[in-house]
Amino acid sequence: MSKLNWAIIGPGWAASDFVKAIKEVNGSVYAVAGISQEEAQAFADKNQVENAFGDYTEMLKDEAIDVVYISTPHNLHHKFIIESLKHGKHVISEKAITVNSEQLTEIIALAEEKNLVVAEAMTLYYMPLYKKLKEILDSGQLGKLKMIQVSFGSCKEYDVKNRFFSKDLAGGALLDIGTYALSFTRFFLSQQPNEVLTTVKTFETGVDEQSGIVLKNEADEMAVISLTMRAKMPKCGIVAGELGFITVDNFPRADKATITYTDGRVEQIEAGETAKALEYEVEDMQNFILNKKNTATLHLSNDVMALMTNVRNQWGIKYPFE
């Protein structure tokens, strides 16, 4: 595989993990930008990144950069994706890729205009297990898809100043953990839901703390999703067909699943390695770029963002910067 020059925007702990994955696949990381030269240099020294910039725009002017990874709070994704595209860079952004459909529509249009690749760093899209499970489902082995159930509960420490609970930083369970649950759901549904029912309990800062979401599409496939950010629940996804159901525990980076057939037979499915989740993202992104075609996952991210925008509109939750 040809080597690409990667750059990092948002030098935090998630970026450190992603840098390790880039190096495993690509060998090195070319540049990082932070809110100050000191911050960027500290990250570069710690993670062996070649160049450090205290100004994001100055870094993006560097013509040697091929692709940018964005790992900032949600509210800044749109800004940095647009700026990266305008400077001719391919982009992979942490989830949720934007905060609403309007932002993502603008990004997709600009990427198409400039013939650049944009992708969301939604791990499950790139895991070998999911590609294998989709093949099994599409083959008819489990009959017609009927129902999907997904739960995700992450008990965040009570702290009104934490980004998870901040309206200014696009906090809330939906954009933080709900995007995983909805991405799992949309990955297996044969088409986008056209019916969306939901209810929510808000946190004292005005963001969504916990919610229930019910989806249905024109193929009569349904999904039920449970989310909470102040209680622990299993990260479990179930995909049920007429002839059996798939259970995926710890689904965001899963490397194994169980199929239980209606006659009682049980089959174990394994593919890939959880520890290599970020490497799979890097590999797929580089393949998209080098093969000069846009990511096959962007339409899924677009559909998920449309669902999240619909849900949040029903709740009446709006971020100050929207």
Residues 141 and 267 in one domain: yes
Start-to-end CA span in the chain (Å): 40
Determine, yes or no, domain membership for 285. no
Residues 132 and 117 in one domain: no
Residues 108 and 133 in one domain: no
Determine, yes or no, domain membership for 288. no
Residues 194 and 99 in one domain: no
Determine, yes or no, domain membership for 293. no
Residues 129 and 117 in one domain: no
Q: Which residues contact 264 (CB under 8 A, 6 or more apart)?
A: none
Residues 175 and 249 in one domain: yes
Residues 51 and 114 in one domain: yes
Q: Which residues contact 155 (CB under 8 A, 6 or more apart)?
A: 229, 230, 231, 232
pLDDT > 70 in the chain, percent: 98
Residues 138 and 183 in one domain: yes
One pLDDT digit (tens) per residue for the chain, 322 residues: 578 999 999 999 999 999 999 999 998 999 999 999 999 999 999 999 999 999 999 999 999 999 999 999 999 999 999 999 999 999 999 999 999 999 999 999 999 999 999 999 999 999 999 999 999 999 999 999 999 999 999 999 999 889 999 999 999 999 999 999 999 999 999 999 999 999 999 999 999 999 999 999 999 999 999 999 999 999 999 999 999 999 999 999 999 999 999 999 999 999 999 999 999 999 999 999 998 765 668 999 999 999 999 999 999 999 999 9
Residues 79 and 144 in one domain: no
End residue of a domain, out of 96, 121, 146? 121
**Domain with 262 in it:** 124-278+303-315
Q: Which residues contact 142 (CB under 8 A, 6 or more apart)?
A: 136, 239, 240, 241, 242, 243, 244, 245, 246, 259
Residues 137 and 90 in one domain: no
Residue 125's nearest CA partner among 134, 138, 137, 136 is 134
Q: What CATH number is associated with residue 34?
A: 3.40.50.720
End residue of a domain, out of 106, 121, 136? 121
Looking at residue 263, what DSSP letter applies? T
Determine, yes or no, domain membership for 286. no
Residue position matching structure tokens 């595989």: 1
Q: Are strands 256-261 and 244-249 parallel, antiparallel or unpaired?
A: antiparallel
Q: Into how many domains does the chain fold?
A: 2
Residues 116 and 227 in one domain: no
Determine, yes or no, domain membership for 284. no
- Do residues 120 and 298 lie in contact, with contact meaning Cβ atoms separated by under 8 Å? yes
Residue position matching structure tokens 């995700």: 152
Determine, yes or no, domain membership for 166. yes
pTM of the model: 0.96
Residues 33 and 53 in one domain: yes
End residue of a domain, out of 100, 121, 142? 121
Give tens-digit pLDDT for 194-251: 999 999 999 999 999 999 999 999 999 999 999 999 999 999 999 999 999 999 999 9
